[in-house]
Amino acid sequence: MVKTLVKEALNRLVSDLRTTHGENLASVVLYGSVAAGDQIELRSDYNLLIALNRITPEDLRQAQAPMREWRRLGHPLPVYFTVEELSDAADVFPIEFHQMANARVVLYGRDPFEYVKISDAHLRHQAEFELRSKLIQLRRLYIPASVSIEKLCDLMNESLASFAALFRGVLILYGEEPPVAKPDTVRATAKLLKLDLEPFERIFAMRATGEQPATDEEANELFAAYMVQIEHVVDAVDETELAERS
């Protein structure tokens, strides 16, 4: 039922975008876990890339009406690029562009990744920056979440989805082909870096079933084990820079 409703919402959105942008609309692309078939109903975001031939403030204002219903359903606002920008920005956002290229469904127009060449020249820098930023944020958010099993589980569920996306960049950095599904990406990263996989598996199980640890102590112990493994990933990425310099 949920999938049917979302499909109908996507069809309506694409139709509204075509009416709104007309010939200026080049592509509408669904990407991420949903496009990969890795979504969790009512929890996964439906991420959209919209490519226009040109983007002016007026073009964005016109998008307000099509986006109103989409936002009402709880979905994030799409990412807007011009067709030219997609090629120009491919070296600046390598992790995001790899994610889009590896898991996408073209809903309208030409597939932009047929002509976008993704550069990995800045991949290590972006991977470390994003990982360190999210690790710092994870520590900050743990302070208020640590007093509640529910809040702490929500923090682990939501943050692991973000870290799993970044782990794809880590695998590429090490010359590995990242899997499409997030759990498989985490498993591949754990194997590559010799991490303890158990905390990740327990969090993925929570995401799938909704079952939470029985006590505050158990939830906080799981978080501690989880954070240690994230720190190991950050250290591994940092060590690749040291190796490049030596």
Domain boundaries defined on the chain? 2-114, 123-245
Using alpha carbons, select from 74, 70, 79, 43 the residue that is nearest to residue 158: 43
- pLDDT score at 219: 97
Q: Identify the CATH number of the domain defined by range 2-114.
A: 3.30.460.10
Is the whole model's pTM more than 0.85, yes or no? no
pLDDT tens digits for 86-107?
888 877 788 888 778 877 889 9
Position 245 confidence tier, pLDDT thresholds 50, 70, 90: very low
Nearest to residue 162, comparing CAs of 127, 193, 115, 118?
127
pLDDT above 60: residue 40: no
Q: What is the pLDDT of residue 44?
A: 53
Per-range mean pLDDT, top range of 24-33, 88-97, 100-109, 222-231: 222-231
Q: How confident is the model at residue 36 (pLDDT cuts 50, 70, 90)?
A: low
Q: Taking 70 as the threshold, does the pLDDT of residue 161 lie above it? A: yes
How do residues 126-145 score in pLDDT, each as one tens digit?
Answer: 999 999 999 999 999 999 99
DSSP symbol at 93? -
Is residue 241's pLDDT more than 70? no
**Candidates 3.30.1490, 3.40.50, 1.10.20, 1.20.120; correct CATH number of 123-245?**
1.20.120
Using pLDDT thresholds of 50, 70 and 90, give the confidence band for residue 244.
low
Other Cβ atoms less than 10 A from the Cβ of 197: the count is 15
Q: By the 8 A CB rule, do 52 and 86 touch?
A: no
Q: Is 167 exposed, middle or buried (0-12, 13-18, 19+ CB in 10 A)?
A: buried
